[in-house]
Amino acid sequence: MEHIEEAGIHSGDSACVLPPFSFSAELLKTIEKQTRMLARELGVVGLMNIQYAVKGGVLYCLEVNPRASRTVPFVSKAIGVPLAKLATKVMLGKSLRELGFTQKIVPRHISVKESVFPFNRFPNADIILGPEMKSTGEVMGIDRSFGIAFAKSQMAAGFDLPRAGTVFISVHDIHKEKMVPIARDLREMGFRLLATRGTAAYLKAAGIPSEAICKVSEGRPHVVDFIKNGDIHLVINTGIGRRSSLDAYHIRRGALTYNIPYTTTIAGARAVSEAIAALRKEQWQVSPLQEYYAEEQASGIRRQASGRDRKKKQPAASSRRQGKGKKAGI
């Protein structure tokens, strides 16, 4: 599964996608190979959680935990297999073959996990993400395309992404270059762009028109006034951990107070842009999980793996009556 936010954001706060949507087939093979080697060398029986990072095409292992992770329920629901139940039986001596789980399941649908934060209950908390976990819950969006699946996850988290309107952008200097293609996409979709002076100047140099507005410290009307008046429909504001400025803090708190969708990472902004584009093009619908599972069953990429033991063939028979055995379960 692939995290949307980059390394440095706590994995419990990062949105994630299953199956990975931006990795090459070669990189996925490398990840699978390294994971298999680690599991065998460490002698892990049951579940194991590994976090990797990719930079410059090089795969780095951040940590290995011989235990289940908080994403096991998400993955189980995404693929329709009770992984905790299977792992428990494996730890008790059963084989995966006995349990009917003998092939990798790569779902055709896209599942997105989004974190839910309690910031509205803590007036002085800064909503910017970092290495310390701040989320207290999770939601899930499923669809056949990444954009709609991500949009559904945002709806479940309480944010309805805008299809039109005004986007406010204020990003740290190290993020400005990566922000350009996202801003261009939003502009091409018809959004009006507002930005702080530094960001607006950078976008202008890149050929993207935007309107500069004041920070809170630069006088009124400033960005928080625009938010209060309902003139901003999406906020993109990045910072660098605790070094984030007081102005940026007021912007993020304003977005939270007035329930304006916001993102504090470039990766999140990219995903939001893709989701908005998908919402503008596609008519989305709600389907039961069983429908997604049935489609994959019909396509031959799913096998039954319920956690129940497969019945072993009985030896040829004696004169003794064979009774029906109960199904094993935990």
pLDDT band at residue 324 under the 50/70/90 scheme? very low
Q: How far apart are CA 294 and CA 281, in angstroms?
A: 26
Q: What is the pLDDT of residue 310?
A: 58
Binned at pLDDT 50, 70 and 90, residue 295 comes out as confident
Q: How confident is the model at residue 326 (pLDDT cuts 50, 70, 90)?
A: very low
- Per cent of the chain over pLDDT 90 is 60
**Could you state, in order of their start, the residue ranges of all structural domains in the chain?**
2-19+107-281
pLDDT of residue 277: 97
Nearest CA to 275 out of 114, 120, 121, 133 is that of 114
- What are the tens digits of pLDDT across the range 123-166? 777 777 888 898 989 999 999 999 999 999 999 999 999 999 99
Of 73-82, 261-270, 309-318, the least confident: 309-318
Q: For residue 38, what pLDDT is reported?
A: 95
Q: Is the pLDDT of residue 241 over 70?
A: no
- pLDDT higher than 80, residue 323: no
Whether the pLDDT of residue 57 is over 90: the answer is no
Q: Sheet holding 192-195: strands in order across?
A: 211-212, 192-195, 166-170, 234-237, 262-263
Most confident of the ranges 16-25, 187-196, 239-248: 187-196
Which pLDDT score, from 0 to 100, does residue 121 have?
81
Q: Which residues pair with 194 in a beta bridge?
A: 168, 211
Q: What is the CATH number of domain 2-19+107-281?
A: 3.40.50.1380
User: CB-hemisphere CA count at 13 Å for 205?
Assistant: 9
Please give the pLDDT value at position 284.
87
In angstroms, the CA 327 to CA 315 distance is 19
The whole-number pLDDT of residue 301 equals 56
Average pLDDT on 271-285 reads: 93
pLDDT band at 317 (very low <50, low <70, confident <90, very high): very low
pLDDT tens-digit series, residues 15-36:
999 999 888 999 999 999 999 9
pTM of the predicted protein model: 0.85
pLDDT for position 240 = 67
